[in-house]
Structure 1
Amino acid sequence: MEQPQKSQNKIGHWLKTSITARMLMVGFLVIILLIPLSYINGLISERSIRQQDVVNEINDKWGNHVLLYGPILKLPYKTYTETKTYNETTKTYVTETKTHINNAYFFPEKLSSEVDANSKTLKRGNFESAVFTTNMNFNGHFVKPSLLKKGITDEDVIWDKAKIIIKTSNLKGIKNEVSISVNNKSYTFETTFNENKSNQLNYLDALESDFIEKEVLTDNMDFKFNITFNGSKDIQIIPIGKTTNLKMISNWADPSFIGSFLPNEETKEITKDGFKADWKIIHVNRAFSQWYLNNLPNLREFAFGTKFMVMVDEYQKSERSAKYGFLVIGLTFLVFFLIQTMSNINIHPFQYLMIGLALTMFYTLLVSISEHSNFLKAYLIAGISVIILITLYAKSILKTFKFPLFIGLSLTALYTFIYVIIQLENYALLVGSIGLFIILALVMFVSRKIDWNKG
């Protein structure tokens, strides 16, 4: 019975005194703590998905993204087909002429728009969504349409059935009665559904005006109209004018200019109070014609405008912070390991485990507090709470003031470093790499006098 007892004592002595054993134990605990970290990442993802569901619900009721395609002049015309049938009674061929009504679509010669978007946030429970109300003023002119190039004479054009069409992605969000003035005559729009709704990707609702009088269809048809939307996410138009101008202003401070065309850099302004931008697109900048027969083309790929971008939200910041959990636990354990090795103070694996669990609690505190406050305040509360808890616990373990103070300062520096990285966009990788290099250099400097040959 003495031999097993001696063997156990040897193993216990090796675990207490061997640097290798301590390293293996610390590494094993770090791996074990990845399990609660993975659950925390799952919690953040679940809350983020819930937030997105609420945002989509708010946006669906308030108004979705705004895409406007128009105004377009719709002009009916006649075409004819002849069919010959053989009459058995008369022994002759009878020619029958059928008339077909088709439509030609003409885009404006000039299209100008001024867009003023006033943004705000809507809340539901702990979640919120950024939305806007935009007032869009359009003006420009058409030239008198002609189909002679296609062999269609003026006699076959049904001039008194001409209409103007506007297509939009956000019919629900329109907040005013829409009418258009053409050469100082007003025409009201009504909703039509003339597209295949099964193709939701390309589907746009259509508004059609009253019939345009023939005398209005002159060589220069000036038009203007106004439309107000409740919307979210983005505002875009399709540049169907031979020359298209767009001016946009908003109180939104974080715009992202999207689509096929960027605004003029010379006049673009972005401040903390909002932005101003303007675009000018001419017909040679886009690969489509100014008029079409029978069907309107899908021109979504040429749309441009502004995305009302929500910068990294609370859940994204929490998720990015949690990705550094492995680093925080590893470096904190490394500090305790170096203190234990250099001072010969014994730290039990259970105490390492308690310290690791306290570090993982930081992320649950961060997520739960940030749902009721801003991220900075949540980060400060969670960080200070965990740092004080671990510092006091280290004081009870290490029995001195010097080492716990060093641990508290190290954790403060580490959490500050991670917060700075989270806030950065373009330089996060660079700053993170430099920070990790400095940390590695400090560890190498501190550990240079440790005798690693002790076991």
Structure 2
Amino acid sequence: MEPKKQKFTSWLKTSITARMIVVGFLLFVLLIPLEFVKTLITERAYRQQEVIQEINGKWGNEVLLSGPILKIPYKTYREEKVYIPETKVFEIKTEEIINNAYLFPDDLNIVSKVTTKEEPLKRSIYESVVFTSEIAVDGSFPSIDFSSKDIPHKDIIWDKISVLIKTSNLKGIRNTIEVNLAGETLAMTPKYSQAYLNTIETQSVSNFPKESTEMIPFSFTMKVNGSESLKFIPIGKETDVSMTSNWHSPSFDGNFLPDDGSREITKDGFKSTWKVLQINRQFQQEFFNELPDLTEFAFGSKLIIPIDEYQKSERTAKYGFMVIGLTLLVFLLIQLVSKIYIHPFQYIMIGLALVMFYTLLISISEHSSFFKAYVIASASVLGLITLYSRAILKGFKFPLLICGSLASLYGFIYVIIQLEKYALLVGSIGLFIILAIIMFASRKIDWGNE
């Protein structure tokens, strides 16, 4: 048995195929701790989102505004034939029923100024970008005429007409909202009702111009704290929205994009305008009995952080297989060229050092910038592997080669993760160059030693 064992050990040390099989096997073993690191990054990113949601919930969540809307009560009648036992005849009884109609404006103009806080709200190591928006709204309603719906003028309850505004963020409102309608100032209050969830409503309009055929003007201002995004629902026949902000990274979101040529984005903020016509969206200007949910037609801007530390760390970890594989391949080629035997355990130590780069990166980036974390983590791993390879390979030639190769690889990956449009192109060219270098370096290896 002993001679067979010695023969097998000798085959592992001298056979190129055996060493390639061992290194390949160790590479796949090292994928296990690498996957644990990726899971850790995902968990930390998820925890960040939880904390941000808690912060935003106290300050104010996404702002979605729909309004103003005229709520118009009207009478309908239901006739019922009732048998009267005393007279032994049928009588017609008429029941009066109160329903509501909802009328949208003809013209709706919204001017919003979004100001982010200079210092983001923080909890522990996490922070959230929040804003305060000052919104000025004006426009006009058409004169009320429901004759096409068989609702006569006299059946409208004119002294019960009120104004509704729907918003997703009642908690964030920071001023007393008063609607000026046809010269009358109307204070708004919330209503506790499932039918009017996230809705504020005025008291009844005392002097509604019921006989007028002119447009009915309105206006109001609103100051609201929010986070993530500011959106509007285009309920006007013609809806014009303008938005300015000091935030430098907007994402125009929703069913409509800003007008061509109106978008202006700089490092100091952005400006944009929208113009939405009734023909651009698929709903009418009046609804009866029930007000539908029109959220799907909303549009506006998200205030995003382009790439945060966890996203960058996750993108970096995706290249972990390539970094570990190429580094082990460099050691294997050095072993084949120099005839120095490298034990499988030493390959494992080198691989674990490479995996430690990602744990160092994510832990340091939570307390510093990603660039500083990347430099510190890569320098630490480079120093450790260079010193370790100096002890294994004896001398300075090969350790310096490994240090230079690994430094170039980390630099290449940093450049890739900073790119957006050209990441795939630069990555593909880089990998092609790496492959060419490996092919050139391995051209004189004697593959016949099996």
TM-score normalised according to structure 2 size: 0.96
Return the letter of the residue paired with 1:305. G
Partner of 2:199: 206
What is the deviation of 1:266? 0.7
Equivalent residues in 2 for 1:14-163 (5 A)?
A: 14-120=11-117, 121-163=120-162
1:238-264 CA-to-partner distances (Å, cap 9, x unmatched) read: 001111000001111111111111001
Return the letter of the residue paired with 2:220. F
**1:182, 1:216 within 8 Å by CA — same for their partners in 2?**
no
Aligned partners of 2:224 and 2:376: how far apart in 1? Answer: 41
Number of residue pairs matched by the alignment: 446
Superposed CA RMSD in Å reads 1.4
1:382-408 CA-to-partner distances (Å, cap 9, x unmatched) read: 011111111121122222222111111
Aligned partners of 1:334 and 1:180: how far apart in 2? Answer: 72
Decide which moves more: 235-244 or 13-22: 13-22
Partner of 1:425: 420
**2:107, 2:239 within 8 Å by CA — same for their partners in 1?**
yes
Decide which moves more: 337-346 or 239-248: 337-346
Q: Does 1:166 align with 2:165?
A: yes
**2:111, 2:135 within 8 Å by CA — same for their partners in 1?**
yes
Return the letter of the residue paired with 2:194. E
Decide which moves more: 236-245 or 348-357: 348-357
Equivalent residues in 2 for 1:311-330 (5 A)?
A: 311-330=306-325
**2:232, 2:299 within 8 Å by CA — same for their partners in 1?**
yes
**2:81, 2:90 within 8 Å by CA — same for their partners in 1?**
yes
**2:158, 2:208 within 8 Å by CA — same for their partners in 1?**
no
Return the letter of the residue paired with 2:396. F
**1:238, 1:303 within 8 Å by CA — same for their partners in 2?**
yes
Return the letter of the residue paired with 1:134. S
**2:312, 2:417 within 8 Å by CA — same for their partners in 1?**
yes
**2:241, 2:275 within 8 Å by CA — same for their partners in 1?**
yes
Aligned partners of 2:70 and 2:231: how far apart in 1? Answer: 20
Q: Does 1:340 align with 2:335?
A: yes
Return the letter of the residue paired with 1:27. G
Structure 2: any 5+ residue segments left out of the alignment? none
Q: 3-state DSSP class of the match of 1:51?
A: helix
Q: 3-state DSSP class of the match of 1:30?
A: helix
Aligned partners of 1:43 and 1:262: how far apart in 2? Answer: 37
Decide which moves more: 416-425 or 23-32: 416-425
What is the deviation of 1:51? 1.0
Partner of 1:200: none
1:244-299 CA-to-partner distances (Å, cap 9, x unmatched) read: 00000111111111111100121211111111100001111111111111111221
What is the deviation of 1:216? 4.1
Partner of 1:381: 376
Task: Provide closer, same or farther for how the CA distance between residues 409 and 216 of structure 1 changes in structure 2, counting only shifts above 3 A.
Answer: farther
What is the deviation of 1:302? 0.9
Aligned partners of 1:370 and 1:25: how far apart in 2? Answer: 35
Aligned partners of 1:194 and 1:434: how far apart in 2? Answer: 61
What is the deviation of 1:204? 4.4
Aligned partners of 1:101 and 1:215: how far apart in 2? Answer: 19
What is the deviation of 1:418? 1.2
Percent identity over the alignment? 55
Partner of 1:445: 440
Aligned partners of 1:244 and 1:192: how far apart in 2? Answer: 27
Aligned partners of 2:209 and 2:48: how far apart in 1? Answer: 52
Aligned partners of 1:5 and 1:100: how far apart in 2? Answer: 102
Return the letter of the residue paired with 2:44. R
Partner of 1:331: 326
What is the deviation of 1:10? 1.8
Aligned partners of 1:192 and 1:173: how far apart in 2? Answer: 16
Q: 3-state DSSP class of the match of 2:3?
A: helix
Task: Provide closer, same or farther for how the CA distance between residues 214 and 185 of structure 1 changes in structure 2, counting only shifts above 3 A.
Answer: closer
1:99-126 CA-to-partner distances (Å, cap 9, x unmatched) read: 1111111111100111111123211101
Aligned partners of 2:307 and 2:387: how far apart in 1? Answer: 34
1:13-41 CA-to-partner distances (Å, cap 9, x unmatched) read: 22111111111111111111112112111
Partner of 1:179: 178
Q: 3-state DSSP class of the match of 2:108?
A: strand
Partner of 2:188: 189
Q: Which residue among 267, 274, 284 is the counterpart of 1:272?
A: 267
Aligned partners of 1:341 and 1:419: how far apart in 2? Answer: 30
1:52-106 CA-to-partner distances (Å, cap 9, x unmatched) read: 1101111111111111111001111111111111122212211111111111111
1:412-433 CA-to-partner distances (Å, cap 9, x unmatched) read: 1111111122222233222222
Return the letter of the residue paired with 1:315. Y
**1:142, 1:220 within 8 Å by CA — same for their partners in 2?**
yes
Q: 3-state DSSP class of the match of 1:417?
A: helix
Aligned partners of 2:156 and 2:368: how far apart in 1? Answer: 64
Partner of 1:408: 403
Partner of 2:2: 5
1:321-352 CA-to-partner distances (Å, cap 9, x unmatched) read: 11211111100000111111112122222221
Equivalent residues in 2 for 1:181-330 (5 A)?
A: 181-195=180-194, 204-216=197-209, 218=212, 219-330=214-325
Structure 1: any 5+ residue segments left out of the alignment? 197-202
Point out 4+ residue stretches in structure 1 off by more than 6 angstroms.
none
Aligned partners of 1:172 and 1:86: how far apart in 2? Answer: 54
Q: 3-state DSSP class of the match of 1:452?
A: coil
Q: 3-state DSSP class of the match of 1:454?
A: coil
Return the letter of the residue paired with 2:25. F
**2:22, 2:344 within 8 Å by CA — same for their partners in 1?**
yes
Aligned partners of 2:5 and 2:425: how far apart in 1? Answer: 50
